[in-house]
Chains A and B, each alone.
Chain A
């Protein structure tokens, strides 16, 4: 089983709709990273969260880390076709492991014009 579970695995939304992707762990998340990947390409860093209750935003994307530091959500407001891609969460599950991350399986987002 995955140490880091993402849901849903795939998502199709109409342009302009809001959506949420979740990333859940049974262990404490010491650092939680969100990345976006276009098909066949590398990962682009979006945001990093470390503190319980932390929330960060960039343009129309907001990421939150819950108080218990075991779940993070990524919320996109008024989705656009440019938001389409695979979203991955990566986490540091062991304190002071030198930056080694575990990744979720990814959520594939399609945005219909």
Chain B
């Protein structure tokens, strides 16, 4: 069975804190993705990665960075969290151009 896990379901942080969101997949997928989901705006791609140590900017990369040191793990980093980064964060993985499988999501609140 396909499995994508995210480190936290809910997270509360203060403005200016450094935030790490972790995503792990156990399917040996090359591709991994980070999205944020906001009401009325749908899913927007932040960053994606085609391979270890490779990363590409998505549609809204500002304020975020990523790290992929191992194939199964893709981390999203908020260097200095701001209130406008309060959102639902979703990680996904896929084998090349095939179906993306999603994790359960992390609901982040920045105060």
Judge whether B50 and A98 touch: CB under 8 Å: yes
The contact of A96 among B97, B98, B103, by CB within 8 Å, is B97
Question: Are B104 and A92 in contact (CB-based, < 8 A)?
Answer: no
* A103 and B43 contacting across the interface, CB-CB below 8 Å: yes
A97 and B58 CA atoms in complex are apart in Å by 12
Nearest-neighbour CB distance to chain A for B10, whole angstroms, equals: 9
> Chain A residues with Cβ under 8 A from B4's Cβ?
42
Q: How many residues of chain B are within 8 Å of chain A by beta carbon?
A: 27
Q: Are B31 and A99 in contact (CB under 8 A)?
A: yes
Contact with B along A36-72 (1 / 0, CB 8 A): 0000111111001000000000000000000000000
**CB-CB < 8 A to B42: which residues of A?**
2, 88, 103-106
How far, in angstroms, from A43 to B42 measured CA to CA in the complex? 12
Any chain A CB within 8 A of the CB of B48?
A: yes
Smallest Cβ distance from B65 to chain A, in angstroms? 19
Judge whether B48 and A100 touch: CB under 8 Å: yes
Q: How many residues of A contact B (CB 8 A)?
A: 24
A45 to B95, CA, bound (A): 14
A13 to chain B, nearest CB (A): 22
User: Which residue on chain A has the smallest CB distance to residue B95?
Assistant: A99
Within 8 Å by CB of B105, from A40, A90, A98, A99, lies: A40
Docked-complex contact B104 and A90, CB < 8 angstroms: no
**Contact A92 B43, beta carbon cutoff 8 Å:** no
Within 8 A of B (CB), among A64-113: 88, 90, 92, 96-101, 103-106
Contacts of A40 in B (CB 8 A): 88, 105, 107
9 A-B interface contacts by CB (under 8 A): A33-B100, A41-B104, A42-B104, A43-B90, A43-B102, A98-B50, A101-B100, A103-B42, A104-B42
Inter-chain pairs besides A33-B100, A43-B92, 19 sampled, C-beta below 8 Å: A2-B42, A42-B90, A43-B90, A43-B102, A45-B99, A45-B101, A92-B97, A96-B97, A97-B97, A99-B31, A99-B98, A99-B100, A100-B45, A100-B48, A101-B45, A104-B42, A105-B40, A105-B41, A105-B42
